[in-house]
Amino acid sequence: MTADPIADRRWHAMLCLHLGLALALGAWLLWKTRPVALPEAPGARIQCLSYSPFRGPDRSPLVAGAPVEVERIRHDLAAIAAVSGCVRIYAVDLGLDAVPAVAEELGMAVIVGAWIGRDGAANRRQVEAAVALARAHPRSVRALMIGNEVLLRREQTAGQLAAMLDEVRRQVSVPVSYADVWEFWLRHPELAAAVDFVTVHILPFWEDHPVAAEHAVAHVVAVHRRVAAVFDKPVLIGESGWPSAGRQRGPAVPGRIEQARFVREFLAAAAREEWRYNLIEAFDQPWKRRLEGTVGGFWGIFDGADRLHFPLTGAVAPRPAVGAAPATALAAALLIGLLAASIGRSSLQVAAFAATGLWSGMAGAMLLEHAWLAWRDATEWWVLGAVSALGPCWLGLRVLVPRLVGDARRLCGWLHLAIIFCAALAALWLAVDPRYRDFPLWMYAGVAPALLLIGEATGPRQREAIRICAIVVALAGLARLLPEPDNREAVAWSLLCLVLAAGGWFAGQQQQRQ
C-alpha cells in the first residue's frame, strides 16, 4: 500500500471529527445529569389533575374495547391521591363512569366531563350519564364539564353548546361549565351566560407562537388576567401543563427540567394569584402520540410505572442518568476497529474506523432512547428500524471495500443513495407538515460525517441520483429552519441536512488510492 498524503489527511479528519463528536456528546450527557435548583412547590399539592386510565401503548379511548377495570381506576386514583385530591375526567364511557364511586371511597373530588362531538345520539348518552353521576355521587362530583374544545374542533356551534348547557344546568345542583382554549372563549363571550364558571385552557407550549418554559407561567398569568377582565364569572384554568419529552416547538423545549420548572412556578403563581386550576395531566398517555406526535404522549407528571417524572421539592436533573450510550459506543468502536484490523487496514485507518464506530454507537444509543418514546407500533419499528440500519450496513461494508470490488463497491453506492433518499423524504415531510413530526436527528447523525468524508458513488446514475437527493435535503432542511430559527432541534437538523447534502454532492469524488 503506497502512501497518499491526500488520503491520509482524509483519514486523519475522519479520526479527529468522530472522536471529537463522541467526546462532546459524552460530555453533554454527563452535564445533563447535574442537579439544577428550581423553585419549590408551595405545599407540594396540586388542586386537580386530568385523569385518563388509558396508559398503555395499546389502549386508547378512540378505539372501542373492553371497559377499564375498576381496579385499574382504584390503583390510579390511589397514586394520584399522594399529590392531589381531585381529578378531571373527559368522558363517562369505557368504564370511566366508575371514577366518581372510587373517588368517594378515597375522599377525592371529581370534575365529570361529557364528551361532545358531532354525533347527536352519542352526545345525548354522554350528557345523560354525566347528569346521572352528578345525582348519584354528590359527595365526589363537584362540577360537570359539558364538552371539551368542541369549538376548537368545529364540531358544534356556540348556540348549540349553550342550549345543551342550559338543559344540563336545569337538571343538576352542581356547577356546570364548558372547556375550551382561551382564545375561543374570547371569540364567543356570549357562551358565558350558559355556564356557572368559565373554563379556559392555557397551554403555552401549544400556542400559535410557542412560549419558552422560563416565560410560560408569566404567559399564563397574563392570559388569566385578560380572561378574568372580560367575564364576570369565576374562571377555572381547565388545562395547563408542560410536556416532558417530544419535539421542540420554536423556543418551547419539552423536557424533565422544563416540566418541573413549569409545574413548580405554576403552583407558586396559583397560590399567589388565588387561581382555581386543573393541570394536564396525571399519567403519560401514549395513545395521544397518534394525534399530537411524540410530545402528545408525555404530559403526565407520572410515568407509566407510577413514578413522578420529577420531585415537587428539591433539585432536579435534566436526565436521571447518562444511559447506555458510553457502553454502546465502546462496543461499536471495538467491533468496527477489529473488523478493519482483520482485513489489513493501516493503523491510521483502523483508528479512524474505530472512532467512527465510537460516534455511531453513541448516536445509535440516542436513537434507541428516542425510539422507545416515539415509535408507536410494530410497523414503525420495522420500517424505521430498517431505515436506521442502512447507516451501520454501509459503514460495515465500507470497512471491507478495499478487499471488495465490483458489486461490493456498487452496493456501497446504493446504500448511500438509500440513506440520502430516506433523509430527503424526512426533510420534505418536516418542511411541509412539521407540527407533530419529530426531527429524526439520531437516525442519520451516526453516519453523516463518514458519508461526507468517504462516501462513494461508482457510476454516473448513482452519482446523479445522490446529487438530486442532496439538493432536496439541503433545501428542505433550510426550509424547516426559516420559520423557527430559535429552535435548537431545527438548527441541528438543518446542519445535519447540509452535512448529508455535502456528502451526497461530492459522492464519487472520494476515491481512496490503495
Do 334 and 477 reside in the same domain of the chain? Answer: yes
Over 50: is that where the pLDDT of 30 sits? yes
Domain end position, chosen among 239, 263, 297: 297
Do 10 and 49 reside in the same domain of the chain? Answer: no
- Decide if 123 is inside a domain: yes
Q: Convert the pLDDT of each residue in 248-303 to its tens digit.
A: 999 999 999 999 999 999 999 999 999 999 999 999 999 999 999 999 999 999 98
Do 219 and 151 reside in the same domain of the chain? Answer: yes
- Decide if 274 is inside a domain: yes
Do 386 and 435 reside in the same domain of the chain? Answer: yes
- Decide if 363 is inside a domain: yes
Q: Note whether 236 and 277 are within 8 A (CB).
A: yes
- Decide if 313 is inside a domain: no
Residues 6 or more apart in contact with residue 279 via CB below 8 angstroms:
46, 47, 48, 49, 50, 239, 240, 241, 263, 266, 301
Q: Note whether 489 and 247 are within 8 A (CB).
A: yes
Q: How many residues does the chain have?
A: 514
Do 13 and 55 reside in the same domain of the chain? Answer: no
Number of domains the chain contains? 2
- Decide if 302 is inside a domain: no
Separation between Cα atoms, residue 12 and residue 182, nearest integer Å: 57
Do 253 and 335 reside in the same domain of the chain? Answer: no
- Decide if 446 is inside a domain: yes
Q: Note whether 426 and 394 are within 8 A (CB).
A: no
Q: Convert the pLDDT of each residue in 129-148 to its tens digit.
A: 999 999 999 999 999 999 99
Q: Which of 54, 10, 18, 97 is nearest to 359 (CA)?
A: 18
Do 278 and 372 reside in the same domain of the chain? Answer: no
| pLDDT at residue 4, as a whole number | 67
Domain end position, chosen among 262, 297, 332: 297
Separation between Cα atoms, residue 50 and residue 42, nearest integer Å: 20
The cell numbers describing 58, all together, are 395499546
Do 210 and 264 reside in the same domain of the chain? Answer: yes
Do 92 and 28 reside in the same domain of the chain? Answer: no
Candidate from 7-21, 126-140, 393-407 with smallest mean pLDDT:
393-407
Do 152 and 171 reside in the same domain of the chain? Answer: yes
pTM of the model: 0.92
Domain end position, chosen among 242, 263, 297: 297
Q: Note whether 46 and 267 are within 8 A (CB).
A: yes
Residue with cell 447523525: 445
CATH number, domain with residue 174 = 3.20.20.80
| pLDDT at residue 405, as a whole number | 62
In 3-state terms, what secondary structure has residue 111? strand
| pLDDT grade for 162, boundaries at 50, 70 and 90 | very high
The cell numbers describing 394, all together, are 454501509
From the CB of residue 342, how many other CB atoms can be counted at a distance below 10 Å?
Answer: 11
Do 488 and 388 reside in the same domain of the chain? Answer: yes
| pLDDT at residue 403, as a whole number | 66
Do 12 and 80 reside in the same domain of the chain? Answer: no
Q: Find the domain containing 468 and state its range.
A: 5-32+321-505
Q: Convert the pLDDT of each residue in 319-333 to its tens digit.
A: 999 999 999 999 999
Phi, psi of 381 (to 5 degrees): -65, -40
- Decide if 315 is inside a domain: no
Percent of the chain predicted with pLDDT > 90: 84
Question: What Rg do the C-alpha atoms of the chain give, in angstroms?
Answer: 27
